[in-house]
Amino acid sequence: MMRVALLSKALDAGGEYAAFLSERTAAGATDGAVASMVGLVRATAKDGSALTELTLEHYRGATITSMQGIADDAAQRFALSDLLLLHRTGTMVPGDAIVLVAAAATHRRAAFDAVDYMMDRLKSEAVFWKRERGADGQSQWIEPTLQDNIDAQRWIENGS
Amino acid sequence: MTLTVDLCGRLAEPLGPQLIIDDCSAIHCVADLREAIASAHPVLAAQIMSQRVRACIDNEIVRDTALVGPGAIVAFFPPLSGG
């Protein structure tokens, strides 16, 4: 049962992943692979300076709609039996989990590719605005990098 | 009719997260709304007229030709940061 959620409180990535995995290993399960990815708040900015917090702003229903659209596309594109997409909003500190994506499939390639696909699209299309605050108290808005857009584009170039 | 417009991300910095448009008589579509905001709030003009800033009506990103109907929940999105 595909689960997509936007969380305003701490994301227990380990607990959520364990629950997802337990459904795959229960009696009668037929999956052969589970792949996952956890995104964490980094302690440094791109210029190497220290970060004290990261804030992700979202907007009403548009954010969860964008997440659901990405998950739906992944489910349609890859041969998955289940997927999990959990994303934080609000203020976090270095080490906090921002996002957990997991995919279950009969074969590993579909699971790997689905996680890669969802992360690439989340990084460029999900409705979030990211602001980093440094140790000096100054904050700055972050936009997708050229690499983020290239990563998302390759799924279009690779066909449907 | 008044219209409430939500400003997201960095767009909220100059004037806060919401604008109230008191006179909507000349606003039919998103392009009209951009011009009305730019005219009334010069501090936002450059950003709100930028095509990198996208409009959202009722939780869907729309083109500038999209109609702004009564009761619509309208927002402007600066470039998304992604997750």
Q: ipTM of this predicted complex?
A: 0.88
B24 vs A: CB within 8 A: no
- Specify the residue for token string 């996208």: B54
A122 to chain B: which residues are within 8 Å by CB?
A: 82-83
- pLDDT tens for A46-74 read 888 999 999 999 999 999 999 999 999 99
d(CA A98, CA A130): 11
- pLDDT tens for B65-82 read 999 988 889 999 999 987
Size of interface A-B (CB pairs under 8 A): 65
Report the residue from B10, B59, B81 with minimal CB separation from A62: B59
CB atoms within 10 A of CB A50: 11
Rounded mean pLDDT of B46-54?
95
Return the half-sphere exposure (C-beta side, CA atoms, 13 A cut-off) of residue A100: 23
pLDDT of residue A94: 97
Global pTM reads 0.90
The total number of residues shown for chain A amounts to: 160
Distances (CA, A) of B80 to A19, A74, A133, B5, B28: 31, 20, 18, 18, 26
Provide the angle, in degrees to the nearest 10, between the axes of the packed helices A108-125 and A146-157: 130
Chain CA centroid to CA A46, Å? 20
d(CA B37, CA A90): 28
d(CA A118, CA A70): 6
- The three-state secondary structure class of A125 is helix
Give chain A's residues under pLDDT 70: 158-160
Q: Give the amino acid at B76.
A: F
Residue B52: closest CA among B40, B65, B64, B66? B64
